[in-house]
Amino acid sequence: MKIKVKKETTNKLLVLITILIAGDANAITISNITMVVIMLLILTLFIKRREKIDKTFIYFTLAYFIMYSIHIIKFGYIDLREFRDYLKIFYGYMFIKLVYKDFFKYYVDIVYKLALISLPLYAMQLLDYDLMKSIIGIIEHNISFLDYREDWYENLFFFTLNDNGMYRNSGFAWEPKGFGTFLTLAFLFNLFLNRFKLFDRKNIIFLIAIITTLSTSTYSIFLLTVLPFYLYNKNVSYKIIASIIVFPIIFVVFIQLDFMEKKIIKEYKTTDEYVNFQYDRSYKGVSRSLGRFGSMALDFHDVKKEPILGYGSYSDKRTMYSLGGVKLVRVSGLSDWMAKFGFLGLFIMIWLYFKSFKRISKQFKFKGYFFISLSVLATSFASAILLTPMYLSLMIYVLVKKD
């Protein structure tokens, strides 16, 4: 007996899986095996639905492999990690070709449900963190291959507990800042889907969930991109009043929030300290997150050496492996992209995002695609999200010819 699954149900499932993979929160979603299995599923659907690969994507693929070939010649060996990065791009292309414009409403609906799940769990987290940690970690503790990031981190697929954020909501993502990234994007998408009703049911939940992340980067991006995007799609006089009066007030209030100010200043001041760990061999074998500013500082050091096409995925040639000290973990996706693909790759990435959101703005009839593009780029400064299939699919949306 054959079980027929509706196309809409299949597409929703694909969006859910792709969101969770981007969430990077457990051993399953980060696994290469998971990536291969989902890619094969998407490829099967791609063939079954008789989709065709667009010429624009073929040209993009040729350009990518020309760059890959240059990296092989330059560094003297084949690094399959660069091919793996292409597979993520191909995943993103097939995925967005299959779901296309429906992606946005599915994304909003799914993130809305995930946000709803997070709020009562977050309340329980605040009431008894240790109890919640034992409940959330029950699967990881009993299935060894699911154990991820040791005892300071627990994930139960749709909710994460992180000892570095005991009073913050991580939702389904790897940390609160990551959760805020998905919520902000959902808020933006929901605005143009519901014709800019600011406080509908979903946006209220998104806003509450954003507040619970206590994330400086999420708050900053929300204030600097979501609100201007909303105002830009309202009447001119309202925009002028807002730009003259509201934004300066928001900015003053923002910088006066004590916990945000201290966090930003601390991270900036410790940039040199984190970078200097790389030179201290007594820390060998230790992993240390660089933070946003530290990541960018070290990546710029690499960019100066390979400014045009970067290092590709030949990460052993980059600074973090060359001196034998502590292993430094980059968190800035934007500067990491620049170190990987150089200024040429950075220009192409930004150009594709702007072209893609410009097309989306025409399809959904809204103004100010610049603000959504800016939101993605600003988010990528704080989080390494650009090379996830979901974000890659948004980048290459313009390469899909389906209208």
pLDDT attached to residue 100: 95
Q: Is the pLDDT of residue 321 over 80?
A: no
pLDDT tens digits for 104-125? Answer: 999 999 999 999 999 999 999 9
pLDDT attached to residue 135: 85
Which DSSP state fits 330? P
For residue 199, the one-letter residue type is F
Q: Where are the domains of the chain?
A: 266-334
Residue 235, judged by CB atoms within 10 A of its CB (0-12, 13-18, 19+), counts as: exposed
pLDDT tens digits for 70-117? Answer: 999 999 889 988 999 999 999 999 999 999 999 999 999 999 999 999
pLDDT attached to residue 283: 46
Residue 319 near residue 278, CB atoms below 8 Å: yes
Count Cβ atoms below 10 Å from residue 154 Cβ, excluding itself: 26
pLDDT tens digits for 278-287? Answer: 445 444 445 5
pLDDT tens digits for 22-63? Answer: 998 888 888 888 899 999 999 999 999 999 999 999 999 999
